[in-house]
Amino acid sequence: MIKEIIVVEGKDDTVAIKRAVEADTIETNGSAIGEDVLRRIALANERRGIIIFTDPDHAGERIRKIVARHAPGCKHAFLPQEKTLYKGDIGIENASPESIRAALSELRTESADQTGEISWDDLMEAGLIVHPDASNRRLQMGKLLGIGYANGKQFYKRCTSFCISKEEFKAALRQMEQEREE
């Protein structure tokens, strides 16, 4: 049984989570999250901790931001879009139990102080911003770092809030460059 409560978008996500692991969930019922749901999430975070596990799309990222604001110090699970895609639909409900378990084994905890080691210049030097292929490079780095895809500003914020170390960043960058050469 997972100690934390997993925050998902809907009932189908809960079904997928329960196929993969024994855990309790809170459903946001989409991006129109009500105040009562946010209060339940805040209480769950205080008492047991929460894991935000939303779809890897625009709506899922919006929900992740809203929930994270109401639950400081929460944990995050990420899956890349290709692991959640079925017949053109992107969603955690489409992920295999193995993919869900893998994502839950690589959780990232948001730090309140957000003083990560990665600078804006590091992102620029790595070609993750202001580069013709920056979007694809962020997609690949996000997978390697386990922080998901984000635009440049959000990617920087994730690197700092998840306290990505210079060593971890450089190792992922080396791996990305090796994979791109193959």
pLDDT digits (tens, 9 = 90+) for 110-133: 876 666 689 999 999 999 999 999
Report, as an integer, the average pLDDT of 14-32. Answer: 95
3-state helix, strand, coil in the chain (%, to 5): 50, 10, 40
pLDDT tier, 31 (very low <50, low <70, confident <90, very high otherwise):
confident
Whole-model pTM: value is 0.90
pLDDT in tens, 74-115: 999 999 999 999 999 999 999 999 999 999 999 999 876 666
pLDDT in tens, 50-72: 999 999 999 999 999 999 999 98
Helices (H) and strands (E) counted in the chain, each on its own, are 8, 7
d(CA 182, CA 178): 7
- What is the length of the chain? 182
Residue 32 has pLDDT above 90, yes or no: no
Please give the pLDDT value at position 168.
94
H helices of the chain, where? 11-20, 35-47, 58-70, 97-105, 120-125, 134-145, 152-161, 166-181
Provide the CATH number for the domain formed by 1-110 in this structure. 3.40.1360.10
Say if residues 73 and 109 touch (Cβ distance below 8 Å).
yes
- Sequence ranges of the chain with CATH classification 3.40.1360.10: 1-110
